[in-house]
Structure 1
């Protein structure tokens, strides 16, 4: 079993999706705890802005290295990994995979490209980051991998089919790696946030859903990151956030048919207005690349 740590002082960390949202919150908290960071995000400007915020809050210039990268691009991933290896002499103590995008709306209304684009960022890029950072984690001190899942990693939601599928894949990969990497003494954790107050909706691949979730978002990114870091220190394997999210998953485990019935009834009522449905479902044939800087 991996040895636990009692703080993140001097921990060598790589954080994806660090230019906004949950990834940026992890960077703020870890920097304040004295960790050494390599941070990445698709937007160079937003990443630079976050680094300036960290420095304004007291982080030293040599504590943080920012490397803008599109994690779906193999050359960009290699650039990021080479910079990380050089920065930390080939070793990592903590990897946080927080980059991700969503897609909202009914499955039938979306082009096949939507599913592929969501999986490229949420699953394939994350998987390759796991694969590529493993040699550095093996050389780390009490190393850990933290993958950001979601409530929908454990219960698919209507209006979120592509996103739900991608997060189920992340959960399955994380569980498999947890077993495989135990021989290397690497702690692997899945963090499942609920609705968090980020700009997530602004960066979705497509948004044709009638039901909007902006008003449902109540947990702050800092609260998510704080809970995640506490769970890492305690050696937790998985953490699901918000009482509402835990209740949903508990009911789904005991009476999944009831949850199916409830979501089905809710969906039938939501889409009862055929003109509203037609107006909402503008078929997307060529979704534009989103900013994948926050899960």
Structure 2
């Protein structure tokens, strides 16, 4: 880039800036007046905005603006208005039993709507937006419930959680048979083979079904039952279906037997009010896998 004294371009009659690249000179063309006026207007608008609305941060606060308006105050006012609007139905929901909610179409619709919002805010990160779950997080759409799928069962689970800090939380976990040296690796592998056979899954080559059956009877049947159909009082899953929380591969089952299982669900009763817990229970119950009382 070369610098030269400004001169008048012979072709256009416009003064150059003195900048030149490879023989090409830059013309000193002024900006359009309309663009300049828009630019100046934006500056005036910005200054006015700074004065009228909250804008500039201070050491421990911020400028409040001449109008004293804040978006936070507007949101609080909108939420307060919504609370007043929902007030009668919310009170009705709080005073109704789960059975009453199911029998009142208008209250049931309100509970579902409120439960849908609460589910998206609190439960979807683990169970998914549609309740389909993920590895280690139960699918709420099917009819396979570790702790029961009736309205009262679901409400209890939501309120107290599973293996949470709540003294009334649902408890029960699968022992770490391998890590705690309760069973040798060969027995764990055989038990995994037998568990897969309970669900009708194909046996691996060299599977020891008979040995696994005895290991299961001696160590697992106390929770899962002699037939492997589980025990909801303990949260022990039904092993005869093909619904697996962590997966049905032999390696996954061996890993579970070796290190145990004991996932935690928060106790939402200490975080959500009673009416929201009821709404959540009703909403989850309508996913498709809910059971009748």
Give the structure-1-normalised TM-score: 0.21
Structure showing the higher helix proportion among its residues: 1
Higher relative contact order (CA 8 A, sep 6+): 1
